[in-house]
Amino acid sequence: MPRTADRLVLAVAVLASFVAFLDGSVVNLALPAMSADLGGGLALQQWVIDGYLLTLGALILVAGAVSDQYGRLRVLRLGVVVFAVASVLCALAPSGWILVAARCLQGVGAAFLVPSSLAMLNARFTGAAQARAIGTWTAWTGTAFVIGPPLGGLLVDALNWRWVFGINVIPLAVTLYLITRLPADEPRRTAGRIDVVGAVLGALGLAAVVIALIEQQRLGWTHPAVLVSLAVGVCLLVAFPVWEHRVPNPVMPLGLFTARNFAVGNLATVFLYAGVSLGTLVVALFLQEGAGMSASMAGLATLPIAVLSFVLAPRFGALAGAHGPRVYMAVGPLVAAAGFLLLTTVREPFDFWTQILPGLVVFGLGLSITVSPLTSAVLAAVDPAQSGIGSAVNNAVSRIAGLVAIAFAGVIIGAGGDSGFPPGEFEGFRQAAAVIAVLFAVAGVISAIGISNSQCDYRRVAPEASARCFDRWPPPPALARTD
């Protein structure tokens, strides 16, 4: 039996991460209700997702260094408090832009929850006990992605969308109480200085580009605000790698990309998670706005994707461990693309069982084939001493890919900004589904051409590094070890 202190550390790590994972899996279903209540149409819906992804993607890269500098428990406590305050602000938001600001703040809190909780487990446990603890963490927190969609839909229909955020308060309060029972840890003062300039360049560059992409729906591409924002964003993003090449402790070490599988795997990640983020968004919106389903039914409709990933991904991870990731990283995205091609057949009269469900099942199968081999190929390509920053970079790449893809949603759907999917109008959804299928297909082709099985030694991947990629949707499981 583990000691009481061990159980307490594990409980804190699970609770803190579970809430962040749950929040990420329910918000899409509440978007139509949010825009109906607060106005703002598709632009508000995009900002509710992208505000969170923007701060999370920018700060996830520095979260580990911040924990080392100031102490894991202190940073975790701060993350929990910030996430709790932001959740309350989201639930009480009187306007769309206050909601967006609160979502940005929520992303700040989430950026420190997962890395800090995993760092606690890494420091508390060693050897086989550490692997078991992280396995328990992934098992419990992974259930958030399974229960999230039906829970989110039920909350929206039975109460209202504000409870999607309000429900966070109780588990976060319990987490804060449990944290007070843990002894304080000592910061690692040997850690290098945090690359604040790099983090700011990346965050502001992405923010400016996203502002341009979303606001062009309302203002048009030729509006001065759109043009200036786009130009500033591009300049900052160009300056980002230049700065990273010069600084001694970069937030994104460019040397990691000299490893073939790391570079190719992250390029595949860009297209795969652009498709995942955009795909899950447009499906959730279409089922409610275009097809007229309730939030509860839409949540149940998307449940097969999460269940398939939760059940099948570990099996495909084990197969990739035995045979190498290349085939799975190539075939999986192509299967997911086939799923979205099936969704392009949607038409009047609408029938969920024949027009939507088969595509979602095929899509979920494709993701199940892909997610674990992709994570393993990326992390096994770097030196074990850099696996922590390697997993943070891959996680950030997936976030940023989703951020940009969702910012392009209005362009892809062809919406005027009032609503992405007017009732009974299916053309926008068919168009979006075709684009998403192309994104997945590109990810598969990149993997087929570029991934090398000979460079994938799973024994180089620490359980903690694998788990740090677990908070994106759908989550890769803990990697199978071949030793």
pLDDT in tens, 171-189: 899 999 988 888 776 666 5
Closest CA to 9 of 70, 67, 60, 73: 73
Closest CA to 402 of 468, 471, 341: 471
Contact between 350 and 289 (Cβ < 8 Å)? no
Domain 1-188 architecture: Up-down Bundle (1.20)
pLDDT digit string, tens, across residues 107-118: 999 888 877 787
Per-residue b or e along 282-306, where b marks 16 or more CB atoms closer than 10 Å to that residue's CB = bbbbbbbbbbebebbbbbebbbbbb
Contact between 179 and 12 (Cβ < 8 Å)? yes
How much is the pLDDT for 64? Answer: 72
pLDDT digit string, tens, across residues 429-452: 999 999 999 999 999 999 999 998
Closest CA to 455 of 328, 316, 331, 324: 324
256-483: CATH, from 1.20.1250.20, 1.20.140.10, 3.10.150.10, 3.40.50.10380: 1.20.1250.20
pLDDT digit string, tens, across residues 250-267: 888 888 898 898 999 999
The rounded percent of the chain whose pLDDT value lies above 90 is: 35
Tell me how far apart the alpha carbons of residues 286 and 350 are, in angstroms, rounded to a whole number.
Answer: 12
Mean pLDDT calculated for residue range 386-404: 83
- The model's pTM is 0.89
- The residue among 132 and 189 whose pLDDT is bigger is 132
Tell me how far apart the alpha carbons of residues 387 and 56 are, in angstroms, rounded to a whole number.
Answer: 20
